Chains A and B, each alone.
Chain A
Amino acid sequence: MLASDIQVAQNIGFGIIATIMVLGAVNVVRSSNVVHAALSLIAVMAGAAAQYLLLAAEFVAVTQVLVYIGAVMVLFLFGVMLTRAKLGKDVDLNNKGGALIGVPVALLLLGVMSYVLIKGFEDTKLDPNLPQTSTAALSDTIFSVYALPFWALSFVLLAAVIGAIVLARKD
């Protein structure tokens, strides 16, 4: 087997990023500090963007950085600020006894999904010789095959903008 087929560098990269993501995600749901949770979420988002690069989806990775890390996270921080959450430690962030339900449900889901994935794909490999996803092809597809969902999405965004303004307006 050729060394390039194993892709040592990429695998190491994946491992590091995945570890950061999982730890960050756990912090998002466990942290007792709202701001820390938000910052951990940024780490997860950034990790996801890096994974997209590993999956040769440059455009989506860039969009992820722009939209999620740029816009959505700022929104979250605004939300944290405007709802006057305590900036320090806050013990009252979790439901009492929530973990009693949350842990079994999450583990059950994880077990079922892992079992299915491992059984279904075993050691199927991604073809490392595939070319990068071309952004030109991506835009062609969006504006031809998926033009109708694109329109619908535009309306959804418009409605969201108007709705957010209406909801958040003070009067």
Chain B
Amino acid sequence: MLAEETGAAVHAAGWFLENAWLIPLIPAVAFFLIIGFGKRLPRGGSEIGIASMLASLVIAAGTAYQWIQRVDAPVAEVGHEVAPVIKSWNWFDIGNLHVSIGSHIDGLAVTLLLLVAFISTLVQIYSTEYVRGDRRYTHFFASITLFSAGMLTMVLAPNMVQFILGWEIMGLCSFLLIGHWWEEEANSEAALKAFWTVRVGDMGLLVGTAVLLGIFGTLEISEINEKAANFAGDNKGLLMFAAVALFIACIGKSGQFPLHTWLPDAMAGPTPVSSLLHSSTMVVAGVFLVARLYPVFHVGLDINIAGQHFNLIAVIGGITILIAAGLAFVQDDIKKVLAYSTVSQLGYMMLGLGVGAWTGAVFHIFTHAFFKCALFLCAGSIAHTGSHHSFDMKTDMGGLRKKMPVTFGVWMVSTAALCGVPFFSGFFSKDEIIDSAKYNDYKLFYFVAIIGAAMTAAYMTRATYLTFFGKARGGAAHFVHGDNHGHDDDHHAAAHHSAPLSFAKSDSSWQITIPLIILGLLAVVSGYLNAPALGIHWFEHMTESSIGSGTAMSVPPPPEFTWAAAAPGLLLVALGFIVSLALTKAVFGEKKNALQGLTQRNALLGAGHKFLVNKYYLDALYEKVIVRSIAHPISRAVYWTNQNILDGIVNAVGKGGKRSGEFVYKYLDQGLVDGAVNGSGAAASGAGTALQPVQSGKVNLYGALLFGAAAVGALVLVLVNS
């Protein structure tokens, strides 16, 4: 049934490029194997998961290698433009619409494929130790493997239907994984919140896809991009509508303002899930959608048109940067700091796409994945080994740098990358976004971006200080002293381990540290694939064919890097670091001083703190204001109607009836009344008897009614038509 529709472009491509569809297929098959046989295997199915991810990684690496060869090949072989390698089979037909399934390989897809396969592999290795002994160990690996398969399916989608397929598989798996420990109500609520919040956005994806189908008559991504880039119709409003609808989906999936509230709650899942969710999958999906269909957004929202200083994507991205960075300051949970940091960095990616810095944004996806994954895994390592399964920085951490040197080292490197310290990976990608905002005439967002960068440095300084410096507290203190008491009070531990905890005397075991070291290393070096500061534009060269260009679309080239242009941002970062260090030391340090407890004493600061702790009251806004303002007045109105109007009518009727009854009884002849009563009783009884056979339960009568009604209906039709 699968008719092969190999495009002409495939002939020159290599084996890996043509068979990239294996990359999601292997984990998808592995999922069924784990579900089916996992429990009977010695390692509970994790070996299948890891093997499948490794296989995907090998194929993805081969694909990347052959893509690089393809881009570097002489012009004569591949033509002037580096065409994507599209391979598809007919999946099903609806009328004239052919829906295919297959793979669409270009620079963007290759980047994400490699990234997802790589990070999934490391996270799975890490998980073998982290969730060891969990009662749903096998299910965990099954879900996480399917999760990766969903992301990979989406990344290589040649058309919107496959894209939605992968997108929804991820949505489902994120629900399963966030609610992995669903016995605790908070966890299952977080899973539900994540699922429903993202679903709100998903409606946009369906609507947007349908509108695209309406405009262009195709679901193939390459065709949509080409037609959108050369858009010359008069129904441009429709294209804008599609772009906005699709962007709503991105807002939901990528945790952009105002639908970012699910992301920090999603920390309820096991830490490896958080790290996977926040680095290369799930949240990146929204950014990926914008990058994938960039011509639709670029043309639809008029990005980079002369004189445009605002557009939807940049505005949402900018707001998200600031709002999430602000929230990261007041979190006590180390994972929540990282979660808000992710939201903020996703804001950077969106901002980059909004101001026309496509390469910068995609490159930021790439670098961010490594250092954010590393940070989350560090947090997991600390909780697993160092702080008694607690993620609370204030009560259970502190002073861990000496006891966990590997974790500390990786954390520091990754933090430096996140803050954009020069020559770490985050610097190169973030700086390009910031520069582009400045040069592409989005000045306001330039300031937003550098302030955001300073805030990033500040909140990460606070988190680092609380975790690794100062005096050991709570769980970390137990750890430092090799103390082993008080496990039973932590009911969470029971969910992690069936056996009592045994505290390691040093850093975590190799399954945890090796992925950490690899990721830490990449957090440093991955930036050198595209370092404008050093004149390296390799990544840009490899992916630029995915941007799309046409008569209606012209993406400005990335600006030339100059240290002078980067200086204000760097200065602000340094300032953020210094101020934050000083404040954190003062507030949380050992020396007593006036700053401690300031938020309790100063009303204004206290109010600000409370405002942040309550997440700008956004959750409250959704639940209390929006839900109540819609649901409560309705119910109140119904209640009022019920109490006053209906009851009034009933009472009045009752009273009236009573009075008239009395009147009748008193003044009218009883015989007359009796007669009327008997008459009406007889009438009702007669009518009931007459109608009762209709509800007789007799099959024949039902048949008679059916055919009789059909006959009458036919007669009516004949009479009407003649």
Residues of A participating in the B interface, judged by any CB pair closer than 8 Å = 95, 98, 101-102, 104-106, 108-109, 112-113, 115-116, 119
Contacts and interface: CB of A to CB of B under 8 A. Distances in A.
B710 A109 contact: yes
B422 interface: no
B718 A112 contact: yes
B700 A105 contact: no
A98 B714 CA distance: 22
Contacts of A115: 718
Interface string B676-709: 0000000000000000000000101100100110
A170 B722 CA distance: 57
Given A105-B708, A108-B708, A98 B700 contact: yes
A98 B700 CA distance: 8
B715 interface: yes
Nearest to A100: B704
B711 A108 contact: yes
A104 B705 CA distance: 12
Contacts of B722: 119
Contacts of A102: 704
Nearest to A116: B718
Main secondary structure of the interface of A (DSSP, over half): helix
A95 B700 contact: yes
A119 to B, nearest CB: 8
Nearest to B719: A112
Contacts of B712: 108
Contacts of A98: 700
B655 to A, nearest CB: 48
Contacts of A105: 704, 707-708, 711
What are the 6 closest A-B residue pairs judged by CB atoms, nearest first? A109-B711, A108-B711, A105-B708, A101-B704, A112-B714, A112-B715
Nearest to A105: B708
Contacts of A119: 722
B301 to A, nearest CB: 45
B107 to A, nearest CB: 43
A108 B711 CA distance: 6
Nearest to B722: A119
Contacts of B708: 101, 104-105, 108
Contacts of B701: 101
B700 A108 contact: no
A114 to B, nearest CB: 11
B702 to A, nearest CB: 11
Interface residues of B, number: 13
B714 to A, nearest CB: 5
A109 B718 contact: no
Nearest to B712: A108
Contacts of B711: 105, 108-109, 112
A95 B707 CA distance: 17
Contacts of B718: 112, 115-116
Given A106-B707, A113-B714, 5 more contacts: A95-B698, A105-B711, A109-B710, A116-B714, A119-B722
A120 to B, nearest CB: 10
Indicate the member of A95, A101, A113 with the most B CB atoms within 10 Å. Answer: A101
Contacts of A95: 698, 700
A109 B715 CA distance: 8
A103 to B, nearest CB: 11
A91 to B, nearest CB: 17
Indicate the member of B700, B708, B710, B711 with the most A CB atoms within 10 Å. Answer: B711
A44 to B, nearest CB: 19
Nearest to A115: B718
A119 B722 CA distance: 10
15 contacts: A95-B700, A101-B701, A104-B708, A105-B708, A105-B711, A106-B707, A108-B708, A109-B707, A109-B710, A109-B711, A109-B714, A112-B714, A115-B718, A116-B714, A119-B722
A25 B722 CA distance: 32
A3 B714 CA distance: 39
B719 to A, nearest CB: 10
A106 B710 CA distance: 11
A106 B704 CA distance: 9
Nearest to B708: A105
Contacts of B700: 95, 98
A95 to B, nearest CB: 6
Nearest to A95: B700
A115 B711 CA distance: 12
Contacts of B710: 109
Nearest to B704: A101
B581 to A, nearest CB: 72
A101 B707 CA distance: 11
Contacts of B707: 105-106, 109
Contacts of A101: 701, 704, 708
Contacts of A108: 708, 711-712, 715
Nearest to A101: B704
A108 B698 CA distance: 22
A112 B711 CA distance: 7
Contacts of B698: 95
Contacts of B704: 101-102, 105
Nearest to B714: A112
Interface string B22-59: 00000000000000000000000000000000000000
A123 B433 CA distance: 81
A79 to B, nearest CB: 16
A112 B707 CA distance: 12
A108 B715 CA distance: 8
A113 B717 CA distance: 12
A61 to B, nearest CB: 28
Nearest to A94: B700
A101 B705 CA distance: 9
A115 B715 CA distance: 10
A99 B160 CA distance: 62
Contacts of A104: 708
Nearest to B698: A95
Contacts of B715: 108, 112
Nearest to A98: B700
A86 B722 CA distance: 50
Nearest to A119: B722
A91 B676 CA distance: 45
Interface in B322-345: none
B520 to A, nearest CB: 58
A151 to B, nearest CB: 14
B335 to A, nearest CB: 53
A88 to B, nearest CB: 24
Contacts of A106: 707
A104 B704 CA distance: 10
A25 to B, nearest CB: 16
